[in-house]
Amino acid sequence: MILLELFGAFFEIALFSIGGGYAAMPLIRSQVVQAHGWMTMSEFADLLTIAEMTPGPIQLNAATFAGMRVAGFPGALCASLGVVTPSLVLVSLLAYLYRRYKSLSLIQGVLGFLRPAVVALIASAGLSVLLLVLFDGQRITMANLDGLGAGLFLLALFLLRRRKMSPIAVMLLCGALSLAAGVLFGAG
């Protein structure tokens, strides 16, 4: 039963994620954290970190991670199968239509409007990760502000946007700084 639920949840994630890995992220959060409660928000943030650091599509990484945690390796398999199934059906169908009509204008019209929605969805999921980093999941007050988290976030944003550093290098640096600060000052 849980295997079927995993398959269904990741089927839905794949079915509605159009336009790359970041577009899938808010869907993964809504299924895995909100609808099924398979992970806490903090575990989800760890999943994003791990998915960013490892090769492969985020949908498959998330499926394996969530599946393994909920139901072991069979869970990982069922969730991964859920990711692949909508593609198998829809890609074949779209490829057939494309060969037949050689026109993608309707699809392009749809994509043109998905993009702003997808940006907004990524912003909303990003905001929840940012709140977790800044306030450790507690109430949003100045007293609860995590100074180290805020500093690392600003540093990382600067390195990404002004210095064009690679995301993996930036994340490793943030992790190392946080570990160093924790060991030196005994924080946390």
Partner 1 sequence: MEKRMHRSAQLLRLFGSMLVISACTFGGGFVIVSLMKKKFVDEYGWLSESEMLDYTALAQSCPGAIAVNAAILVGWRVGGAAGMLAAVLGTVLPPLGILTVITMFYSAFAGNPHVAMLLSGMQAGVAAVLCDVVLSMGRGVLSQRSAIKNAVMVAAFLAVAVAGVSVAWVIAGAALLGALLQMITRKEAGA
Rounded distance between C-alpha atoms, residue 135 and residue 145, angstroms: 5
Residue ranges in 115-154 that form contacts with partner 1 under rule CB under 8 A: 115-127, 129-130, 132-133, 148-149, 152-153
Q: Smallest distance, Å, CB 99 to partner 1?
A: 10
Residue 2 in contact with partner 1, rule: CB under 8 A: no
Helices 21-28 and 58-101, interaxial angle, to 10°? 120
Place of tokens 């991670």: 65
Nearer to partner 1, 2 or 153 (CB): 153
Among 4, 74, 101, 111, binds partner 1 (CB under 8 A): 111
Among 2, 8, 36, 114, binds partner 1 (CB under 8 A): 114
Nearer to partner 1, 4 or 52 (CB): 52
Rounded distance between C-alpha atoms, residue 12 and residue 6, angstroms: 10
Place of tokens 């180290």: 148
Residue 45 in contact with partner 1, rule: CB under 8 A: yes
Structure tokens at 113: 């409007």
Residue 40 in contact with partner 1, rule: CB under 8 A: no
> For residues 104 and 94, is the Cβ–Cβ distance under 8 A?
no
Structure tokens at 67: 């599946």
Among 2, 8, 69, 137, binds partner 1 (CB under 8 A): 69
